[in-house]
Structure 1
Amino acid sequence: MINHPAFFSVSPEMGDPLSEVVRLLHPSAAFANIISGKGNWAVRYTEYGLPSFCIMLEGSCLLTVDGHEPIIISAGDFILLPTTPAFTLSSFVPAPPVFLDPFKVASEHRELRYGDGEGTPEMRSLGGAFLFDCADPGLLVSLLPTVVHVRDSVRLSQLVQMVGEESAGQKPGSEFMLSRLAELLLVEAIRSVTAGNAPPGLLQGLADERLAHALNAIHARVDHAWTIDELAKRAALSRSVFFERFSRRVGMAPMAYLLAWRMAIAKDLLRGNELSVSEIAERVGYSSTSAFSVAFSRHVGITPGRFTRASSSE
């Protein structure tokens, strides 16, 4: 777990950037299936492209994600793949892989059995995926490494098991429960990533106590006309040191981050189609609709109006 105080000591007037990112993702649901195996087996999943997760309930197996060294996952381990590239899951003795389509598996909501179908399984896990209702699912990818491997997290285990129960039960209120559980699961998984193995981005920035003050200020007042000097003062750093440190740890310059966050909020508000373009422009810190439209078009590639129409037709 992350022990950096920047994650938890947010002053009352400041926002909580991590919570804001998860809210902006709009996780609408999560589902999970029981997966078990016995004997010698291997399954090969094609690229899924969406975030998926697995928690090992009993036994162990081998996970080989394309582009990464194989890792052993054992009882209590949690795996999160933010983009779910192609991967192989197998027993420790090599076996010819069975090829599976992750989209088909995701739609079936049943127990999956690998290898020998008879007798008590040697490995049991819960595997599933997140469903998002947002304009920018890439926000999650920007926070996390390609493979998140957490060992012995009781909280993650409990959350995933609750997802599994809700997925299987389909009781009244399940849709609401699954969306809230998805939010909790995402936050807990993100918290488990240390700044040391996170890519440059928000997590690395928040883990830096000085930069966290500037990031919290940006998120708390996205409509403010921030300058490098103001943000450097928030971080108690010189202008040059702040700029270099922010750019290195967050992966982009301070003003580029401010623009990216403004555009992420703008896309979410445009997709909601409840505010006018001029109201959204004001919300994200632009003094005129034309200035906002120009900035949005340059950043996103289409005008705010076209973005709204495209979102409405999805």
Structure 2
Amino acid sequence: MLQLGDEVTLYSMVFVLVLLGTRSPLWTTVLTVSLYLFLAMFRFPQVPASRVQQVLHPGSDKVSAVAHRGGGHDAPENTIAAIREARKNGAGGVELDLEFSADGVPILMHDETVDRTTNGSGPLSQMRLSDLRKLDAAAKYRLSEKFAGETIPTLEEAVEECIKLQLVIYFDVKGHPDEAAAALTELYKKHPVLYNSSIVCSFEPKVIYRMRQSDPEVVTALTHRPWSLSRLGDGVPRFSSLWKHHWMTLMDVVLDWAHHHVLWKLCGVSAFLIQKNFVSPDYVQYWAQRGVEVVAWTVNTKVEKEYYHTLLQVNYITDSLVEDCDPHY
């Protein structure tokens, strides 16, 4: 839950902003109370801390290295080969991207098209599973010959492999909140071990809220990168239009505030996945006071890994378990 100081700060800020905008004490009071009642009625409680510890810190490990997209530098991303390489290289878990084929089958894929990672071309929304099975998922990988013929796996295949290898799964859901919640709920029913060995994450709060509605026992996390609306992962502005860039920058400020003061509480998340550049001891402590664990991404150098492992003692997501590499966007 939010601490008392958070409650006072949140509602005081809302009160002042609405008062400045409306100049009406009555409407200001009504809107502020409405926000309080909304959060009180519709928020989800956090999953018990003991189970969160099982998921985020399996065994006796204080810090877990999680392979981003299965470890997209060490093997073709989001493939069975990547999952196996991650286990071999000492990962405690794997982050896997959930998407859907045109015929509604949940699969592993980061993008909305197959162009970047395979020898095919076109949007997933127009490709059935039978079409996707014909593609080489290692075609664009730097060591394509070593992994030639690797296929795009279904979510079910990937989960079974992770369970067999005793890897914690970070399900990264890109969108499709209703479809994703339904598919994951069915998966948790079929494999109850996932309640203690997986976490559902998303940049979209609607996805997490829908997941908690479908199954409130699932451990969840919000993923966030400040300035994500106005800038790409490498910091380059998304929009050439100056006015649009400034408008989206303002929206970034609002979104960041909402993540840290409203959305995490509404969804009842247990972890907060944040881009590494914004993590500090104070930031980790900020979330620890709220019963939320920080997971940093994407941590790709030996020096950074030692910092997170030794000083911060928080889990981190990495593109490679074996060497330094550039981030995979």
User: Structure 2-normalised TM-score?
Assistant: 0.21
Structure with higher Rg: it is: 1
Instruction: Give the structure with the larger strand fraction.
Output: 1
User: Structure 1-normalised TM-score?
Assistant: 0.22
